[in-house]
């Protein structure tokens, strides 16, 4: 069974065209149509399939997760003042900010609507997990915002932030999918932890691609985090490992907003400091460590190895995303 096609068909059958008022719902179909890899719903279905051949009960959860993920992206783009998402105009740029806020609000309602289509015997457990996930994503976003004005952020604090903002959604998607497939508490937790560790590795990889990727491949402007003066893993590690002059210059560069004519020079100089302090290698090492943790979660899962192979392959593919 092609899980991606199965999910895409379900999404198409349950799109928002025809809902009224059009101005509220058109942005929902727009952001969902931008696609991406559909990693989160795919993980929900894959987790279900580890324990059951019938993935039908997991389809509404997968869709709810995808709606929630895109809701969070829509609001994140407003807060980050991003103009591109997956190579296309963000919702608040294509429409306007008020529309984007309201459309995001109704997406959250619809996420709960689809999550609630879960079979009644497991619905309380599923809702508890989804509430934990939704709360965690908001907490992670607030931590990310707090970092903007914090003088010092540790690697541990940064990992906790991305665990909440990004990887908890993968944790929840996989744990809910496993439960939908009939997994017990221990099994579903191991599957969820695989998602959590993979999510941390995934976000660290995103940090790398934001600075060292290619715009045509990544779908957003390279160096955006630098221009927004974000305290990413690269910045925090450079401030930890750099000498006094490098630290002073980096703090200076990341304490100001430059004119458009100076943006490329700022990106270039910050990257030079990262390279000089060995940060790309440090980041790749961290990505490898969390990928290994995810594989250990799979190893401890007591199901046939043949059923685990697709998740192992997906993890490897995600870590090989185009630079």
Q: pLDDT tens digits, residue range 239-248?
A: 999 999 999 9
pLDDT digits (tens, 9 = 90+) for 17-59: 989 999 999 999 999 998 778 999 999 999 999 999 999 999 9
Tell me, rounded to whole angstroms, the distance of Cα 304 from its chain centroid.
29
- Res 1: pLDDT: 58
Cα gap 273→65, rounded to integer Å: 38
Average model confidence (pLDDT) across the chain: 91
pLDDT digits (tens, 9 = 90+) for 275-305: 999 999 999 999 999 999 999 999 999 888 8
What's the domain range around 36? 3-319
- Res 19: pLDDT: 92
Torsion, CA 33, CA 37, CA 42, CA 46, rounded to 10: 160
Cα gap 52→214, rounded to integer Å: 40
- Res 137: pLDDT: 96
Is the confidence at residue 71, as pLDDT, over 80?
A: yes
- Res 80: pLDDT: 81
- Res 48: pLDDT: 97
Cα gap 306→47, rounded to integer Å: 14
- Paired residues of 89 in beta bridges: 84
Predicted TM-score (pTM) of the model is 0.91
DSSP code at position 81: T
pLDDT digits (tens, 9 = 90+) for 175-196: 999 999 999 999 999 999 999 9
Number of domains forming the structure of the chain: 1
Among 27-31, 138-142, 154-158, 223-227, where is mean pLDDT lowest?
223-227
H helices present in 116-229, as ranges: 123-147, 155-162, 168-180, 185-212, 215-218, 224-227
Contact 15, 32 (CB under 8 A): yes
Greatest pairwise CA separation for the chain in angstroms: 61
- Res 256: pLDDT: 85
- The CATH number for 218's domain is 1.10.600.10
**Cβ burial 109-147 (10 Å sphere, 16+ → b, else e):** ebbeebbeebeeeeeeebeebbeebbebbeebbebbeeb
Cα gap 65→85, rounded to integer Å: 18
- Res 220: pLDDT: 57
Which position has the token pair 């899962």? 301
- Res 318: pLDDT: 79
Is the confidence at residue 98, as pLDDT, over 90?
A: yes
Where does the pLDDT of residue 216 fall: very low under 50, low under 70, confident under 90, or very high at 90 and above?
A: very low
């Amino acid at each position: 069974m092609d899980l991606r096609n199965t999910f895409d068909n379900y999404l198409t059958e349950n799109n928002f065209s025809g809902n009224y008022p059009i101005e509220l719902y058109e942005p929902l179909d727009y952001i969902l149509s931008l696609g991406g890899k559909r990693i989160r719903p795919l993980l929900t279905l894959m987790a279900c399939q580890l324990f059951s051949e019938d993935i039908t009960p997991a389809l509404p959860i997968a869709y709810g997760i995808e709606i929630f993920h895109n809701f969070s992206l829509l609001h994140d783009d407003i807060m980050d003042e991003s103009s591109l998402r997956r190579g296309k105009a963000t919702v608040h740029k294509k429409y306007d900010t008020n529309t984007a806020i309201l459309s995001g609000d109704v997406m959250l309602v619809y996420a709960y609507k689809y999550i609630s289509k879960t079979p009644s015997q497991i619905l309380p457990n599923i809702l508890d997990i989804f509430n934990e996930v939704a709360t965690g994503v908001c907490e992670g976003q607030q931590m990310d915002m707090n970092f903007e004005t914090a003088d010092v952020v540790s690697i541990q604090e940064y990992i906790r932030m991305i665990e909440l903002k990004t990887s908890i959604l993968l944790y929840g998607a996989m744990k809910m999918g496993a439960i939908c497939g009939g997994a017990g508490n221990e099994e579903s937790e191991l599957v969820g932890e695989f998602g959590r560790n993979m999510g941390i590795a995934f976000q660290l990889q995103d940090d790398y691609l934001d600075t060292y990727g290619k715009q045509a491949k990544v779908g957003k402007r390279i160096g955006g985090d630098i221009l927004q003066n974000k305290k990413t893993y690269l910045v925090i590690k450079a401030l930890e490992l750099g000498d006094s002059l490098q630290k002073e210059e980096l703090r200076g560069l990341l304490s100001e907003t430059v004119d458009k004519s100076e943006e490329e020079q700022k990106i270039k100089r910050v990257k030079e400091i990262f390279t000089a302090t060995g940060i790309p290698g440090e980041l790749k090492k961290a990505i490898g460590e969390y990928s290994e943790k995810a594989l250990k979660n799979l190893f401890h899962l007591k199901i046939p190895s043949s059923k685990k192979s697709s998740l192992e392959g997906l993890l490897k593919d995600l870590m090989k995303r185009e630079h």
